């Protein structure tokens, strides 16, 4: 059992992927700094020299550098309290943004970063305004792996791991390749209103298939007494985040800039399209391949 715990890293290592609620569905929520039982984490800033290595390394090394670089201390709130023997669970579809789409997305992010302060790259603590000052660094940042969540990020007991992974593989192993259209900019806020996210949502192609996959994950969660996903899921990838509930200012900035870009013919209805290639499950520091389609 000790060896199993060691392979999954520190217990209750919380993911950066908070539970998200659509901004439009929670207009009356009051932003909070956390609920009782939540833990605040103050992250010390690593040396500035780490950022300089991004431009001179390969993509994989660049992503590692992006993961640890920060120029400011950011206080976060855990999704759940630290409990020895618990591991953060996250089931998701990995997504990579195509080269051409990165240019359009970068254009929008630069404009939004100039209007809304204190935005950070998702899964890291890198100020977006710093990345926007260097096209190469921003390109590397958008070359990272993004995630479509298929279930809530919740704590999992060590004795449940093998059973949960096995059941997920049974439920999700048979899947055909399908297309996912990311066609809408949207702002989401987590359940506690402690963080806001600027995201790209899927509302057309791929929505039906992902909804079926979420239902399958829900069935496995229920068998392990874990909370199910949202009743009406809205599949998306999150690009940047900010502390607190800033849905009004962030949504206003995005909508305003998109309107300007559309007037100039710079924005397409479809932001980008990606092929579904598999599902992964991260538990603690260990990632399990639930299903993977062969490369074409």
| DSSP run (H or E) holding 94 | strand 86-95
Question: Beta-carbon neighbour count of residue 277 at 10 Å?
Answer: 17
The string of DSSP codes covering 156-189 is EEGGGHHHHHHHHHHHHS-----EEEEEEEEEEE
CB-side exposure of 6: number of CA atoms within 13 Å?
3
**Can 147 be counted among the known catalytic residues?**
yes
**Can 288 be counted among the known catalytic residues?**
no
Catalytic residue of the set 147, 159, 175, 288: 147
Q: In which region does residue 206 sit, left (phi positive, over 0), alpha (psi from -120 to 50) or beta (all else)?
A: left
Residue written as tokens 């909070």?
32
Strand segments, DSSP code E, in 111-235 are 120-121, 146-149, 154-157, 179-190, 195-202
Residues catalogued as catalytic: 147, 236
């Amino acid at each position: 059992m000790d060896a199993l715990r060691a392979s999954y890293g520190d217990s209750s290592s919380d993911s950066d992927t908070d539970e998200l609620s659509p901004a439009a569905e929670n207009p009356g929520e009051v932003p909070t700094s956390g609920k009782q039982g939540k833990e605040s984490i103050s992250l010390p800033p690593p040396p500035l020299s780490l950022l300089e290595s991004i431009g001179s390394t390969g993509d994989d090394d660049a992503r590692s550098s992006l993961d640890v670089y920060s120029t400011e201390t950011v206080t976060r709130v855990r999704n759940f309290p630290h409990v020895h023997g618990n591991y953060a669970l996250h089931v998701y579809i990995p997504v990579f943004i195509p080269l051409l789409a990165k240019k359009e997305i970068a254009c929008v992010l630069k404009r939004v970063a100039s209007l809304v302060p204190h935005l950070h790259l998702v899964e890291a603590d890198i100020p977006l305004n710093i990345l926007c000052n260097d096209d190469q660094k921003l390109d590397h940042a958008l070359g990272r792996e993004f995630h479509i969540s298929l279930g809530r990020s919740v704590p999992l007991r060590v004795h449940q791991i093998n059973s949960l992974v096995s059941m997920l593989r049974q439920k999700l192993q048979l899947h055909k390749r399908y297309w996912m259209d990311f066609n809408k900019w949207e702002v989401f806020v987590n359940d506690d209103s402690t963080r806001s996210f600027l995201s790209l949502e899927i509302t057309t192609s791929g929505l039906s298939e992902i909804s079926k996959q979420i239902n399958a994950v829900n069935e496995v969660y229920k068998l392990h007494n874990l909370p199910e996903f949202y009743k009406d899921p809205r599949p998306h990838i999150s690009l940047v985040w900010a502390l607190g509930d800033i849905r009004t200012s962030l949504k206003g900035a995005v909508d305003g800039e998109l309107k300007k870009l559309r007037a100039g013919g710079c924005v397409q209805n479809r932001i980008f399209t990606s092929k579904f290639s598999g599902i992964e499950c991260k538990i603690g520091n260990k990632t399990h391949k639930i299903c993977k389609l062969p490369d074409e």
